[in-house]
Amino acid sequence: MKHVYFIGIGGIGMSAIARYYHHAGYLVSGYDRTPSKLTAALESEGIAIHYEDRPDLIPASVTDTLVIYTPAIPASLQELQVAKERGYRLIKRSLALGEIAKGQETLAIAGTHGKTTTSTLLGHLLTDAKEGCNAFLGGISKNYHTNLLLSTNPVLVAEADEFDRSFLQLFPDITAITAIDADHLDIYNDLEHVQEAFRLFALQVKKALVLKNGVNLGIDDDQLPAKVYRYAYDQPCDFYAKDIEALPGGYFRFTFHTPGAPIENCQVGIPGWVNVENAIAAGAVAWLHGTSPAAIRQGLASYAGVERRFDVHLNTPTCAYVDDYAHHPKEIAAALSSIRNIFPGRKVTVVFQPHLFTRTRDFYVEFAEALSQAEEVILLPIYPAREEPLPGITSEIILNRIDGSKACLVPKEELLKHLEDRTIDILITFGAGDIDRLIRPITELLSQKTL
């Protein structure tokens, strides 16, 4: 194999694998639908990318070219169809990651939410400890400004993605599962089938499985091949935070309880109680892997977070702006709870771009309930991603469930003008679509308004 060609190279998971093969010396190129910050970074690293459906740009040699694709692309894409017709070796992203993981000790973080922050923190703990790892992350680490960490140490840290049952290609040594909630119901249909997929994944874990308290796999612990541990924010169990002390700015100092000696005077380098919970999960996996307590304490403190995960872009006495990738009701509720903790008594305005017609259809009631925690809600039209519109499914079905005096629907192209005309105290933007392209102009606008 000489060439590795990616269909959908700009995705966060795909781009990490593209970087891995490029670093390993293969000729890497690919297609994506639209240019982005990620594709620009890949191009600057020497990877050729095009943005039109051009089968003629797939490397001509079938015998020495591997084609990797993401299930997020439409089946009608000509490049995908031609790759199948010509007989290229064609695999999904999840299988590529599974093949890379073979021969390495694999530490995986799974869960319907929380896995990106937790896996990135785990990768940082091992890297900061000077042990090193090969980490494939679901976001851009703010410590390293990349979604791929490389090392000669044969330890792999992976975000185990449940979308399209991708994580069933992994057979981890140690895993943490942060949550099992109904999501991706266009694939799973219902929560029972989501739980079934996580159960199958848990049966593939070899040594240790760390479950968040309350997570139910529908199977007894003694039926699993791995030793099972539990973790929580502050509920006594195998791994949890105790003696929690609130600090200014939404930070916390705590003692990290483990099955061995407690790790005292811990503090996470980013604010929010939910990140203490994520730190317990990442720290538990690191502890079970053998990372020293001192290195865990130091790594937690120096962790800078992930772009678009509770990402603070502006924080002045009169105005603050936070951006978050949250696109599930429980993620939104947790983020708003942290915002209340960091900025008590302040007026919170939310901008939310729903992601996918099917997710909006399945959770519009729960979205409205979560968003109602804010004083003001600005909804954008649904970001469709890979989906075609569904009759009757628009952002208005969420809007109609929120108190009309506090919510409105605004076209994306009119959002900046809408914000310019309003007094903003605390603003948080939510969504997994293209709302990220508004982060910089929103930050600039609010910065000017505070002058």
Q: Which of 331, 391, 406 is nearest to 361 (CA)?
A: 391
Q: Is residue 98 part of a domain?
A: no
Mean pLDDT (whole number) for 234-238:
97
Residues 224 and 189 grouped into a single domain: yes
pLDDT bin (cut points 50, 70, 90) of residue 301 is very high
Residues 276 and 140 grouped into a single domain: yes
| Total domain count, the chain | 3
pLDDT value of residue 26: 97
Beta-bridge partner residues of 28: 4
Domain end among 61, 93, 125? 93
* Global confidence as pTM: 0.88
> Tokens representing 7?
């269909």
pLDDT bin (cut points 50, 70, 90) of residue 197 is very high
Dump pLDDT digits (tens) for 83-124: 999 999 999 999 999 999 998 999 999 999 899 999 999 999
pLDDT value of residue 188: 80
Dump pLDDT digits (tens) for 133-168: 999 998 999 999 999 999 999 999 999 988 888 899
Domain end among 302, 324, 341? 302
Residues 199 and 234 grouped into a single domain: yes
**Cβ distance 89 to 264 under 8 Å?**
no
Domain holding 53: CATH number? Answer: 3.40.50.720
pLDDT value of residue 164: 81
pLDDT bin (cut points 50, 70, 90) of residue 73 is confident
Spatial neighbors of 290 by CB under 8 A, at least 6 apart, are: none
The percentage of residues in the chain with a pLDDT greater than 90, rounded to a whole number, is 85
Q: What residues make up the domain containing 261?
A: 103-302
Q: Which of 165, 229, 228, 173 is nearest to 200 (CA)?
A: 165
Domain holding 345: CATH number? Answer: 3.90.190.20
pLDDT bin (cut points 50, 70, 90) of residue 411 is very high
Domain end among 41, 63, 93? 93
Give Cα 125 to chain centroid, integer Å.
18
Q: What is the Cα gyration radius of the chain?
A: 22
pLDDT value of residue 159: 94
- Longest Cα separation, the chain: 63
User: Nearest 5°: CA angle at 196, between 192 and 198?
Assistant: 120
